[in-house]
Structure 1
Amino acid sequence: MDIQNVLGHKVKEAVKSIFDIELSSVEFQPTRKDFEGDITVVVFPMLRHIKGNPEQIGGQIGAFLDEQVEEVSGFNVIKGFLNLVISDGFYLQFFNSVYDTENYGYVSKRNTDAVMVEYSSPNTNKPLHLGHIRNNLLGYSVAEILQASGKKVYKTQIINDRGIHICKSMLAWQRFGNGETPETTGLKGDQLVGKYYVAFDKAYKAEIAELIAQGTEKSTAEKEAPILLEAQEMLRKWETGDDMVVALWTTMNGWVYNGFEETYKNLGVDFDKLYYESDTYLLGKDVVEDGLQKGVFYRKEDGSVWIDLTDEGLDEKIVLRSDGTAVYMTQDIGTALQRVKDYPDINGMVYTVGNEQDYHFKVLFLILKKLGFLWATNLYHLSYGMVDLPTGKMKSREGTVVDADDLMADMTQTAAQLSEELGKLEGYSDAEKQELYRIIGLGALKYYILKVDPKKRILFDPQESVDFQGNTGPFIQYTYARIQSILRKADSKVDLSGFQNSTDQGVTLSVVEELHPKEKELIKRIQLFPEIIGLAAENYSPALIANYVYDLVKEFNSFYQQVSILGEADTSKKVFRVRLSKKVGEVIRSAFQLLGIQVPDRM
């Protein structure tokens, strides 16, 4: 039962009965911790309709609710805030109704319309780095949250496997590689190819310096360095289907795909469908022609095609060059249409792309709307800020990026060091220790990134993220493990089956009738979980889930410190507290699943 919905109707009934006024809505908020109560009716908005003192108005409404609503067991008024005390019976009834609910908080019935979530979408000239990690974690988590909220979800990426950057790595491998492969070097394929992207940049800069020394202007040298001209020629050969260039492109991209797959597996993300830019870069031209006929686009004298968005506060945007070749915007239009063609049930798309592309997506979405596609109203750019390290900004051309594989390995090692210092791993085998370190290290990394609102820039501190205290993944994982320890001990001490009886509806009822304030607070937190999932889905924000579960864990630890569980003399209370602990653990696990984070049974 939704207590807010019940109270909303009753408050309107009270206002009608007392003041003969029809209220259209009622504003609620959680009662502040320094006041008695569970839910607060905000009286101030009513003053637009009711003349009088807000405290008196609140008192009259409170008295009505106290008499008329079974679930209200008391009230107090502080200025314009009516604080209502909800009965223990209501919270016990709620808890008993959800105790055996699997994946409580998740919506099991799927919508018929689907949403596609795009994330990762890397270039095939280098390994994934720290920025890609934030992208992947955000996209994957949002997909999981949308699914938990009842959406049907397809996870996808478009792999940028063509262009001059790919040719740079290919050319450098031809010049300096001596035929080495991932097998002969022991390097992951993406790392090997990335090594030659860095090698190209080094050789390119050396040639520029040599040309400048010979008297060439810097700007000219940058355009005419022989190695760059050769890379551009290689791109032209690829576009014309040159057999040797295409064969090398296929081989080196294959190395990269294998490397990416290993990174994705270690990171714990996956995809339902892969798109490749080499297949999609010609898409969209026919849409441009259709848009010209509809008057959405216009052609300039040089033959290029544009759209004028100045009335919408943007500018004019080219969608087809004068030579008939497409631009990225054209390709993105075509790819969106191709996705709807591949998955006809799609009625929305989420693009997980850094905030440097904010303008691009504003234009893309507006163009698709002007072209008349109804699903274009449900497009969302999941824009996110950069991730910085204490050491400074990353530059992939110079080889100073933080490699995703290296970072994950470092996080595991950091978790190992801290865990060994805590010295609580007696009885663990080496394999069990390594798996625990991996779970803690990755949990620390994921939680640290996902607890921040996507739009904010992050300064990622690996050492801080693995702290076992505070708003961190390991702190929450440790609390989950503590709950599992309580449950293991309870198995041998408490007979749960002996303290329940069934109603006609088959709902398991607890024998306790009165709640400790800490028990009540925990149940209130549990009750919020479905609403938080809905808000996180609506706002495309895993941070709402992360901070909810942190608040839940803080509340549980306060309960654990102040209320005896297994040491409680009253057996019925002991059983109830074990059950309450079990449900908290299940919600922690479910919330962390939405963030792509594992929880260990022991720490």
Structure 2
Amino acid sequence: MSIAQLQETLSEAIKNAVTELYDAHLESVEFQTTRKEFEGDTTVVVFPMLRVVKGNPVQIGEAIGTYLVEHVDEVERFNVVKGFLNLVLSDAYFLSFFKNVANFSNFGKVPQTNDAVLVEYSSPNTNKPLHLGHVRNILLGYSVAEIVKASGKKTYKTQIINDRGIHICKSMLAWKRFGNEETPASSGLKGDKLVGNYYVKFDQEYKKQVAQLQSEGKTEDEAKAEAPLLTEAQEMLRKWEAGDTETVALWSKMNGWVYDGFAKTYEAIGVDFDSYYYESETYLLGKDNIEEGLKNGVFYKKDDGSVWCDLTDEGLDEKLVLRSDGTAVYMTQDIGTAIQRSKDLPDVGAMIYTVGNEQDYHFKVLFLILKKLGYSWAKNLHHLSYGMVDLPSGKMKSREGTVVDADDLIEEMAQTAREISEELGKIDDFNETEKEELFRTIGLGALKYYILKIDPKKRILFNPEESVDFQGNTGPFIQYTYARIQSILRKAEEQSGARTIADLSLEGFTLHEKEKEVLKLLQQFPDVIQLAAEQYSPAVIANYTYDLVKEFNSFYQNVSILAADSEAEKQFRIQLAKAVAAVLKTAFGLLGINVPERM
């Protein structure tokens, strides 16, 4: 019996109790988790019942508790604390749950329905490599897609690549002026890193020109606007938009370098995509939708010819959707891209945009306009808004070259994992290849867990060394517990061969308090997945996983597994440890984290 089924059984019994004892009708029953300081496995809140049952809440709780013990097999005893009825469930209830889960490796995941969700994440610019800010975006988007899939919905992972605009032309111009035909092959650099270097180079040379013009008597604003490099980059953008053959060829070549670099970084991080959209192909989308909206009164035209959407009735402002010269703004193409995606993937009923919280207002406006345009799926659009990632050294700036490159970060995490692991001295029997794989698994796990355990809306101060701690609420601590369980299971197999839950005989079995606590947490996992999917929050999974590990370690320290008092106890505890390991692996998989078999 699942938690939901149990609550349904208890609700029905409590309603019957209220009818029989008080001749009253109770509409619903409120449950909550029993507080740690009280005995109990689930708690019924009595206070809401006072609307239909008059009397002392403690006495009402006592009467209902007595009724439940008499009428519900799963309820063994109870206690009442003020208006809270704490129910202690029978060992048989928890053992029945455990015995009936044939395979904990699949536990918690729901078969996919036809409801499909599109998750957009990453969405980088092609003028620089991916950096720490992108890493949070990528990890969040990928994990949310995996969680939503586990909750029972089909998912599509996508991104829109910002491959056009003045920032792209800055890198192109700097390479053309200062690159001497340098390529990723000739330089030995990843393509995205090479192009990013020229974006920084542009800024350096541009600042020199601005300083020179100021020394000649120009104001700062005049100097910034008239610097030859900037005017040349603006001209390059005009040529690109006009389809100039030479400019488009250079753009294609340098973007190709960047895409190759991005692909290597995505592979290193361990994420994937089902489709790609390119701003160079979508930036003209939406103009037809604006024309349609004008006819339907969703938009209005000002005297200068610009087109706007009045959102003041919804507490927002007036939003420009088409300039007076007929050119689109970002909002226009976002409207068009959303509509295009709904045509490309007709089974998609919801879209999730993983974008930093500086775009909160933009997405409020976008979603509202799409609703006004009459798209039924617009009510299921969600902005997965997240806070920035800071470093102890301060804020990152791409154009000044002060960002933390994603590739460098991955290498740094692996190196930090190496240093800490070698200090602990637990890997002497690993060969060099196994060590390298382990360090990367630990380093990436530390990075991902550190970022994903925090609520997406909160800002993060990322400390690499703190994240690779083998104690506390960290990825390596959980990975180490998983590896410890695998070690126990290997020893168990050596002693008595491979067994399964089906082999257990649990008739009349009495649970140790620590076993029961582990079972209670295991039972919660399906609900945790659903809650994480509803909230689009990997933090729900991460913090559940930490709680499960803490509970397992408490169990491990208080009872013996392989030297249990009886064979039945030993085999049960082995299977319990195996179930915990399976759930840890599944939970970490939803976060995009691998678990090592040995550490």
**Structure 1 match to 2:90:** 87
Q: Which residue of 1 aligns with 2:578?
A: 582
Equivalent residue, structure 2, for 1:417: 419
1:380 maps to 382
Residue of structure 1 in register with 2:195 after alignment: 193
Inter-partner Cα distance in structure 2 for 1:59 and 1:447: 44
- Pairing partner for 1:146 from 123, 145, 148: 148
Change (3 A) 1:511 1:420: farther
CA distance in 2, matches of 1:130, 1:600: 25
Residues 233-255 of structure 1: per-residue CA shift (max 9 Å, x gap): 00000000000000000000000
Identity among equivalent positions (%) equals 68
Pairing of 1:180-259 with structure 2 (within 5 A)? 180-259=182-261
Give the equivalent residue in structure 1 for 2:562.
566
Task: Note the C-alpha offset of 1:357.
Answer: 0.2
CA contact under 8 A between 1:512 and 1:572: conserved in structure 2? no
8 Å CA contact 2:116, 2:347 repeated in 1? yes
TM-score (norm 1): 0.98
**Do the aligned partners of residues 429 and 511 (structure 1) sit closer, same or farther apart at CA in structure 2, a change above 3 Å counting?**
farther
Question: Judging changes above 3 Å, is the alpha-carbon distance between structure 1 residues 550 and 244 closer, same or farther for their aligned structure 2 residues?
Answer: same
Equivalent position SS for 1:76: strand
Give the secondary structure class of the aligned counterpart of 2:118: strand
Q: How does 1:184-583 map to 2 (within 5 A)?
A: 184-495=186-497, 497=499, 510-511=506-507, 513-583=509-579
Partner Cα separation in structure 2 for residue 543 and residue 334 of structure 1: 32
How far apart, in 2, do the equivalents of 1:579 and 1:543 lie? 28
CA contact (8 A) 2:99 2:501 kept: no
Residues 33-52 of structure 1: matches in 2 within 5 Å?
A: 33-52=36-55
Q: 1:107 to 1:509 in 2, by over 3 A?
A: farther
The residue identity in structure 2 corresponding to 1:401 is V
2:135 is aligned with 1:133: yes
In structure 1, C-alpha distance between the alignment counterparts of 2:444 and 2:227, rounded to whole Å: 43
Cα distance in structure 1, aligned partners of 2:327 and 2:470 = 55
Cα distance change of structure 1 residues 562 and 269 upon mapping to structure 2, 3 Å threshold: same
Work out whether residues 99 and 502 of structure 2, in 8 Å CA contact, stay in contact via their aligned partners in 1. no
CA contact (8 A) 2:310 2:318 kept: yes
Structure 1 residue 299, shift from structure 2 partner = 0.5
Determine helix, strand or coil for the equivalent of 2:441: helix
Q: 1:500 to 1:370 in 2, by over 3 A?
A: closer
Asked if 2 retains the 8 angstrom alpha-carbon contact of 1:500 and 1:511, the reply is no
Structure 1 stretches of at least 4 aligned residues deviating more than 4 Å after TM superposition: 495-501
Q: Structure 1, residues 337-361: CA drift from partner, whole Å, max 9, x if none?
A: 1111111101110000000000000
1:31 aligns with 2:27: no
Counterpart-to-counterpart distance in 1, 2:382 and 2:456 = 13
What TM-score, normalized to structure 2? Answer: 0.98
- 1:363-408, Cα deviation, whole Å (9 max, x unpaired): 0000000000000000000000000000100011100000000000
Contact map agreement 2:105 2:586 (CA 8 A) in 1: no
The whole-number CA distance in structure 1 between the counterparts of 2:288 and 2:144 is 32
Deviates more, 1:470-479 or 1:25-34: 25-34
Match of 2:591 among 571, 591, 595: 595
Q: Secondary structure at 1:270's aligned position in 2?
A: coil
Name the CA distance, whole Å, in 1 between partners of 2:422 and 2:192: 33
Q: Distance in 1 between matches of 2:345 and 2:309?
A: 28
- Structure 2 contact 105–583 (Cα < 8 Å) conserved: no
Query: Secondary structure in 2 aligned to 1:394?
Result: coil
Deviation at 1:578, TM superposition (A): 0.1
> Distance between the aligned counterparts of 1:25 and 1:340, measured in 2?
39
* Paired amino acid for 1:41: V
User: How far apart are 1:111 and its partner, in Å?
Assistant: 1.8
TM superposition shift of 1:498: 9.7
- Classify the secondary structure of the residue corresponding to 2:264: helix
Quickly say closer, same or farther: Cα 1:500–1:99, change in 2 above 3 A. closer
Shift of 1:539: 0.3
CA contact (8 A) 1:212 1:221 kept: yes
Runs of 5+ unmatched residues, structure 1: 502-507
Q: CA deviation at 1:475?
A: 0.1
Provide the rounded CA distance (Å) in 2 between the counterparts of 1:367 and 1:208.
Answer: 41
Instruction: Tell me if structure 2 keeps the 8 A contact 1:37–1:85.
Output: yes
Quote the residue 2:72 is aligned against. 69
> How many residues get paired?
596
By how many angstroms is 1:23 displaced? 1.3
Distance of 1:498 and 1:38 partners within structure 2: 27
> Which amino acid is 1:571 matched to?
E
Q: CA deviation at 1:493?
A: 1.2
- CA distance in structure 2 between the aligned counterparts of 1:406 and 1:42, rounded to whole angstroms: 52
Aligned equivalents of 1:214, 1:426: Cα separation in 2: 66
Contact 1:394 1:402 (8 Å CA) reproduced: yes
Task: Give the superposition deviation at 1:102.
Answer: 3.8
Report if aligned partners of 1:496, 1:575 keep a CA contact under 8 Å in 2.
no
What is the CA RMSD across the aligned residues, in angstroms?
A: 1.1
Distance 1:208 1:44, change over 3 A: same
The separation in 2 between residues aligned to 1:315 and 1:150, in whole angstroms, is 38
What are the superposed Cα offsets for residues 482-506 of structure 1, whole Å, 9 maximum, x if unpaired?
00000000001135659956xxxxx
Counterpart amino acid of residue 491 in structure 1: E
Query: What is the CA-CA distance between 1:34 and the residue it aligns to?
Result: 1.6
Q: What secondary structure is seen at the aligned counterpart in 2 of 1:481?
A: helix
State the secondary structure of the residue aligned to 1:59: helix
Amino acid at match of 2:320: I
Residue identity matched to 1:526: L
Q: Give structure 2 stretches of 5+ with no counterpart.
A: none
Q: 1:499 to 1:404 in 2, by over 3 A?
A: closer
Q: CA deviation at 1:219?
A: 0.8
Deviations 1:61-116 (A, max 9, x none): 000000000000101111111111100000000001114254100002x1212110
2:306–2:323 Cα contact (<8 Å) kept: yes
Distance 2:300 2:489 in 1: 69
Within 2, Cα distance between the matches of 1:195 and 1:496? 56
- Whether the 8 Å contact between 1:27 and 1:42 is mirrored in structure 2 is yes
Write the deviation string for residues 489-534 of structure 1: whole angstroms up to 9, x where unpaired: 0001135659956xxxxxx653561100100000000000000000
Corresponding residue number in structure 1 for 2:171: 169
Deviation at 1:16, TM superposition (A): 1.2
> 1:141: how far off?
0.1
2: CA distance between counterparts of 1:408 and 1:54? 57
Question: What letter matches 2:323 in structure 1?
Answer: R
Structure 1 position 10 matched with structure 2 position 13: yes
